[in-house]
Structure 1
């Protein structure tokens, strides 16, 4: 047995050693800010990045895993001077001391970040970020104003989304600088002009992604106070989802991207039409159901009305009247039959007591008197006829007509009807009327002569 093979020795494996060292390193140091230059940058298909961070005298291996790399606002390259926030660790498989990167930014953004945090805290204390002071976005804006660069990608993204979601919505583009030393002042003036014109009831402040320095115009204190004082609601859509600016916090609503701002500002026309169609169908069903209920209720009331309607009582009274009428007819018929039977009985009794024999004798006697009366009248009429004939002969004897029959005539004045017996009773020119036995003559006197 070797003299070194003692049971009291604690022999570590390499894996155990590296593991313990890793535990000590990770537990002994907090997150550190380290500045240096990137070299030997490699990004395999896994999406992780591995590089060395160096200065003039030393270097250290670094690992930037994919989930953290996707949050970077820039693309690291060899030779870039960066500021990283990292934790110390050990790659056990090779025993390499390394830094695990949690955050990376180009050198120079640190001061900007501190200025950003200070202004953010100041405005927050003043209440500019208070949600109670933010204006509600209109559900259906009449017109949307877009404050952005007219040549950037942001305006194209917004217009594409708006044309797809609500093509009929009017759009006004307010062009402005979105980067550079004069951008903040120009954005402020453009917002004030758009708000004063009152052409739009919603404004979108938009810009594409970039570094903190590229987006610095949207961290201007004057711009922030202008946004807070606008009467028109503002949606801030600056940069990508990971980018935050002071304008995002003070605006009435923040959108992670310009495309998201367009979706936030408008209703989806197809969804809205589908929703309206659904509401229409619900309304039709509700109206149909209500009409059916009202119809059933109306039928129920109509049935009750038919039962309680005066017409029903009248019909019942008419039916009772018909029944009483038929009963009256039957009673009258029975009474008439009884009276007819009584009349027949009385007639029979009357016949038995009738003085018909005496009446027959009186009728015969009356007939005899009639014959006698007739003979007496005929005798009287014969005597009267004889008397009339005698008188007629006497009258005929003295009648003027008898004279006329012998050729004589009767002349009268046609005007006065006076019988003329002398020629002196008329004069020439007078009309006279002459009656003959048969007929008469009308003539004019031409001459009159006196009797010789």
Structure 2
């Protein structure tokens, strides 16, 4: 009896149910983990998914990275590649294998720096260093700027080339600084503080260098430099690396340019555009003056035309009177012709409404209807005559008199037609109607027909 109770309290699982529980437990407990290791046994089937083993000197774990994720990477790993991956721990239920489902991967060389960058980015964002409302506006029409960069680098050459082409009048002061290496952050901070010391009449500061790896650009990811940029009195423009490179200095700066050349474009006016504007204004002023001059000339000519000799004015008035007289005569003739036409029209209407004309039309209509009626009668009379003959013939055929002429008689008793022998008895007087008269008869006896 005890063995039976023990069996009833067991929680018996199938293998698949157990694997499902383990998978859910792993996915909840390790929803996102970062793991660093070496890739081995990399397999890429036709589906595009990646299957590989991530190992270190003491252990290994199976990994899967599906096509929707690995196609976003900028490289394809190989066996032996040291990588940093992010993913969630799970269980492949079909085989019961513990595995890591990867959704992000980067080569391990930049991995540590990338993690440090992301951590600092989150910290500074929480401190409000990236807030848009704290950004200083860049003045328009800059006349003097300070550029903090390496005086021998490619970035300063690109900037100066663009400025010379666009607006050579913009004054530039280069504050030299290392832009790479361990000493670079301190030199950048010193140069930025120098730019804000007030020794120059600079209106903005450009912080720039050329492209490179994440390690090359690391000086611009310094936390202390970020706070100095935030505390700067002058607006700071950051142009570090290429368009795809993002540094902490870019995020804290008041304006970020994709490249050093792009920064020069943003900070300088375009002399060609300015010249075009000047020429446009010149043309506008020229047009305004020409318009005013022409307007005054036209008014002068108009005043000159008004100052005419009195004799000429009298001739003009006489000519105007002649013109009015001719127009009046023409109007009278036109009005007379119009009234004459209206009179003829009214006469024609009166003739059309004359009683004689109306009677004549009615007589013509009556004559036409009489002729039409006569023709209709002449056409219909033979047909109706023939119909009458046919009806008479049919009537004669159906008439009782025609039946009597064939030898039949109509028997009546007291003016009532007798149809059966049961309606009379011997001794009754009956009348037999023939075709040419009647017979008075007495019933002697009756005989009924056998049914």
Q: TM-score, normalised by structure 2?
A: 0.48
